[in-house]
Structure 1
Amino acid sequence: MKRLMTAALAGLLMAGAWASTEPSEKDAIAMAERGASFIKQHGKDEMMKRITAKDPDFVQGSLYVDMRDISTGIVLAHPYNPTIVGKDLTDVPDASGKKYRREIIELAAKKGKGWVDYMYKNPQSGKIEPKTTYILRVGDVVLEAGIYKK
């Protein structure tokens, strides 16, 4: 009986792990690092094309990479919001008033990588939700891969 209960519990735990499709911080870091490797091999122009085309290596539901210029803050590529590409939104605040894009650029310039928290529209739910984004500097661009907090 004890073996049967242990097996049943193990099965439930495994099923729960498979059912959990929410991306993690680890997934965001891995995606940004994958983007950095891609840029080093193929260049930032090709990376921008991949992001825009929603390449599954860089766009997986609510987890995606976008890219901005570190000097100007101009958005270079975004898979879900093409209307912001080519714009400098550095000092435009989120729904709570935080100038998170400024924080992203400053963190990238000073440390090269790290996390920034803010509010952003989730492409899956269509709602403004808390988000944490891993930022990674690659030369003169910043890759951003974030997850929505539940």
Structure 2
Amino acid sequence: MRALFAIILLLSGPYTAAAAAPNEKDAVALAEKGARFVRTHGKAAMIARINSRDPEFNQGALYLAMRDLDGITVAHPTTALIGKNLLDVPDADGKPFRREMVAVARGQGHGWVGYKFRNPESGKVEAKTTYVLRVGDVALEAGIYKH
């Protein structure tokens, strides 16, 4: 019986740990899903879905946000950020990461930006990386904490 219990623990352990934390592939997939949605239904519909915390685009630790190419937050699950230009607000190490996000969107149109930010789940400042994907005149952003 003890051996059976050990086997069950071994088999179930990796799945629970892996399923809990989103990875880079998940972030890219969410941004691309958002881009398809914008192309099909329009920017206004995507803004409404993000701001309402629609579970299709907000999976807790992984969520979609939208910024215009001037740096104004257009859509975010934390609605207090909407309409704000936070380009000059740095991360915990003083890095103006939002400026880098806008530069990626304006430049090659997609890519990763790394920075440090307070993880709402742990309450600690942690390394985070966000995938930025330009769609027309806005950038979609989907970030993950690096554990």
Scaled by the length of structure 1, the TM-score of the pair is 0.87
Q: In the alignment, which residue of structure 2 is the partner of 1:31?
A: 30
Identity across aligned pairs (percent)?
Answer: 55
Q: In the alignment, which residue of structure 1 is the partner of 2:118?
A: 121
| Alignment length (residue pairs) | 143
1:144 is the counterpart of 2:141:
yes
Question: C-alpha distance in 2, partners of 1:15/1:69?
Answer: 41
**Cα deviation, residue 83, structure 1:** 1.7
Deviations 1:35-93 (A, max 9, x none): 000000111111111111111111001100100001x11000110x2222101111211
Question: C-alpha distance in 2, partners of 1:111/1:128?
Answer: 29
1:48 is the counterpart of 2:54:
no
Question: C-alpha distance in 2, partners of 1:123/1:76?
Answer: 21
Question: C-alpha distance in 1, partners of 2:11/2:73?
Answer: 41
**Cα deviation, residue 130, structure 1:** 1.2
Look up the equivalent residue of 1:67 and give its one-letter code: M
Question: C-alpha distance in 2, partners of 1:128/1:75?
Answer: 22
Look up the equivalent residue of 1:75 and give its one-letter code: T
Question: C-alpha distance in 1, partners of 2:89/2:36?
Answer: 30
Q: Is the 1:61–1:124 contact (alpha carbons within 8 Å) kept by the matching residues of 2?
A: no
**Cα deviation, residue 13, structure 1:** 4.6
Q: In the alignment, which residue of structure 2 is the partner of 1:12?
A: 10
Q: In the alignment, which residue of structure 2 is the partner of 1:76?
A: 74
Look up the equivalent residue of 2:56 and give its one-letter code: D
Q: In the alignment, which residue of structure 2 is the partner of 1:22?
A: 21
Look up the equivalent residue of 1:99 and give its one-letter code: P
Scaled by the length of structure 2, the TM-score of the pair is 0.89
Structure 1, unaligned runs of 5 or more: none
Q: In the alignment, which residue of structure 2 is the partner of 1:103?
A: 100
Look up the equivalent residue of 1:133 and give its one-letter code: T
Partner of residue 84 from structure 2, selected from 87, 96, 103:
87
